[in-house]
Structure 1
Amino acid sequence: MIDCDPGIDDAIALFLAYASPELEVAGVTTVAGNVGLDQVVDNALRLCDLIGGPAAATPVLRGHAGPLARVPRHPDEPVHGAYGLGGVELPAAARAAHPGHAVDWIAEQLRGAGPGEITLIATAPLTNVAALLHTHPDTRRLLREIVVMGGAAFAPGNTTPAAEFNFHADPEAARYVTESGVPLHIVGLDVTRKALTPLADADALVADGAPVTTAAGQMLRHLIDRYARRHQVRACAVHDALAVAAAVRPELLEWTEAWVTVECAGEFTRGALVADVHGRTGLAPNARVATGVDAEAFRAFLMSRLRGHYGADTTPAP
């Protein structure tokens, strides 16, 4: 299951998930984050329709419209464009969201599947995930693991000097999830910033000309333009896609075991991921944190999956 807030990198993550035969996407749940909840839901539906095939029938569900304990706050700048997809206009969705709430639906699916059969990939603020684990505590033993895109354990944040966007948006939720006891793999800015997608790859996707590759390339161009203005580099991080890759090919990353939590009260550190890798707290590790990545292997993996599955000249992807 993918809990997301599309968002450009969420869109690329969805494209990658459906292009990966190792995964069977059981559902797409949504939460406010990169844009408000209504827009997030609409974006997810449009993206699944664009992907087609099984994606067009995958349940898409509405989740929480804001954080657990704080006033909702949308990003100060339109990182993902006014509607969240970099100005790329997709056809209107052919269906409505699945009835019911995302949190309750996930719980039902976990109980029906049995222990250890479902991985939850969370690429958004962790509001839905924390609510799931709190209101349906039996699901903790049913989840195989949660792969989280969030945090910056050993690197600067991208929302504040200390905090990454997803954890800063709902730090209480992030703390609840990290201390929940569910097996966690955390893919944060420590690695996503090392695995940049260059303009040449975005241009190649647009040049391919197929609907999904063209949309993906255009969205990536939007992010790359922003990176060029802010960071003077013609490339961008595709944070959420790396989290999907971690679920499919964990060997692309280096992992460090640590006890982790999230700061909720710090004046300058709210939302910061705290990782104890040296045992200073005396607490046993509760997560595996990604600390390194084979950037070129990830780049090749992402491009081969997108072009191999969706490209105009489609061939089976490795």
Structure 2
Amino acid sequence: MDHSNTSRQTIVIDCDPGQDDAIAILLALGAHEALDVRAITTVSGNVPVEITQRNACIVRDWAGKTATLPVYAGCSRPLAREPFTAADVHGESGLEGLELHEPLAPVAGQHAVDWLVEMLSAAVPASVTICAIGPLTNIATALLQAPQICASVREIVLMGGAYFQRGNATPVAEFNLYVDPDAAEIVFSSDVPIVVLPRDAAVNAPITPARIAPIRAIGNRCGNVVADLMEAILAFNVRRRGLAEAPMYDPLTIGYLIDPSLFGGRAVNVVIETAGKWTLGETVVDWTGRTGRTINAKWINEVDADSFYTMLCEKIRNLP
């Protein structure tokens, strides 16, 4: 799908901030010529929803959008499983490595799912892109409550899954889809156009010290925030794996929305393992078409990493 010749895309960012979620939100807000961010909806994932909603409000403040960008808090637990978080990765605050202020404004009063249903029910067909960079609980709940909203969704661009790479939550499952595999299965069965930015893409665009330096050099508040976040992600990988590079996860979804020509992949069938003893949350990708199952997603495994980081730098420069 080519977005390059269209006017600004209307997007909703559904997220669980999280260090990389915060970078993704700032990238989207810095790309205001391409993306019209209608709202941020938050879900329990990297940290519980009470913290993800607070963090979304803090990121909104950093970008100078306190008064104009609503944040809606969503589901506090997966559809069927017990909650599973990643505070060991992102810190108890979810934004390890940064000094956090008290949010300048509260979240909106409405539940994220109710807002999504209301907004999409009123939207014209194929007009709203959902950028889903956390567990898919909010999206699946909205689809279950109001299946007719599918018509308003242009596409769901999500970070999740792993095929050529293996998992980061279990040997085979990527974190976002492992947290709520039942929700993921509902979304992938929905007939909405889906683009997947999996671990396969994330490891092909690694965060490195050389890629942090130009962002630090921008010299604005958000440039320093993004550099701090990237350094925290890198420091974790050095501690855990002894590697001075780290996968770039959630921001790639925004990069895809801004310039899909930087990404390559294949239209495939994806199903989510929801019952496996050892494989819960695995994305079973029919890369070669051997099952004959209907194509339901575009699976991205190639990314022009240098161009992505150049874009990230350009867009963050547009922020305070």
User: In the alignment, does 2:44 pair up with 1:35?
Assistant: no
**Contiguous gaps of at least 5 residues in structure 2:** 1-11
Letter in 1 for 2:37: V
* 1:114 paired residue among 112, 119, 124: 124
- Aligned equivalents of 2:120, 2:271: Cα separation in 1: 25
- Aligned equivalents of 2:64, 2:136: Cα separation in 1: 27
Q: List per-residue Cα deviations over 1:265-300 (Å, max 9, x = no partner).
A: 111111000111222222220110002111111122
Give the Å deviation of 1:147.
0.3
Partner residue in 1 for 2:5:
none
Maintained 8 Å contact 1:12/1:238:
no
Give the Å deviation of 1:207.
4.4
- Aligned equivalents of 2:294, 2:134: Cα separation in 1: 26
Partner residue in 2 for 1:314:
none
Give the Å deviation of 1:198.
1.3
User: In the alignment, does 2:117 pair up with 1:104?
Assistant: no
Q: List per-residue Cα deviations over 1:159-201 (Å, max 9, x = no partner).
A: 1110000000000111111111110000000111110121233
- Aligned equivalents of 2:75, 2:81: Cα separation in 1: 13
- Aligned equivalents of 2:67, 2:161: Cα separation in 1: 31
Give the Å deviation of 1:91.
2.2
Give the Å deviation of 1:304.
2.1
SS in 1 for 2:157: strand
Partner residue in 2 for 1:310:
319
* 1:236 paired residue among 228, 240, 246: 246
Maintained 8 Å contact 1:8/1:84:
yes
* 2:300 paired residue among 282, 290, 295: 290
Partner residue in 1 for 2:3:
none
- Within a 5 Å distance, the mapping from 1:40-51 to structure 2 comes to 40-51=52-63
Partner residue in 2 for 1:64:
75
User: In the alignment, does 2:20 pair up with 1:18?
Assistant: no
Give the Å deviation of 1:153.
2.2
SS in 2 for 1:27: strand
Q: Calculate the TM-score normalised by the size of structure 1.
A: 0.93
Equivalent pairs: percent with the same residue? 37
Maintained 8 Å contact 1:246/1:253:
yes
Maintained 8 Å contact 2:16/2:46:
yes
Partner residue in 2 for 1:315:
none
- Aligned equivalents of 1:184, 1:209: Cα separation in 2: 36
Maintained 8 Å contact 2:268/2:295:
yes
* RMSD (Å) for aligned C-alpha atoms: 1.4
Q: Calculate the TM-score normalised by the size of structure 2.
A: 0.92
Give the Å deviation of 1:231.
3.0
- Aligned equivalents of 1:236, 1:73: Cα separation in 2: 22
SS in 1 for 2:274: coil
User: In the alignment, does 2:183 pair up with 1:173?
Assistant: yes
SS in 1 for 2:254: helix
SS in 1 for 2:269: strand
- Aligned equivalents of 1:309, 1:233: Cα separation in 2: 31
SS in 1 for 2:35: coil
- Within a 5 Å distance, the mapping from 1:141-290 to structure 2 comes to 141-290=151-300
Give the Å deviation of 1:206.
3.4
- Aligned equivalents of 1:251, 1:205: Cα separation in 2: 23
Maintained 8 Å contact 1:201/1:303:
no
Q: Which range moves more in the overlay, 294-303 or 139-148?
A: 294-303
| Equivalent residues, number | 308
- Aligned equivalents of 2:181, 2:90: Cα separation in 1: 22
SS in 2 for 1:237: coil
**Contiguous gaps of at least 5 residues in structure 1:** 312-318
Q: List per-residue Cα deviations over 1:207-255 (Å, max 9, x = no partner).
A: 4432111111111111111112233332222200001111121111112
Give the Å deviation of 1:104.
1.2
Q: Which range moves more in the overlay, 111-120 or 181-190?
A: 111-120
SS in 2 for 1:79: helix
Q: List per-residue Cα deviations over 1:95-121 (Å, max 9, x = no partner).
A: 111111101101211122211111000
Maintained 8 Å contact 2:214/2:313:
no
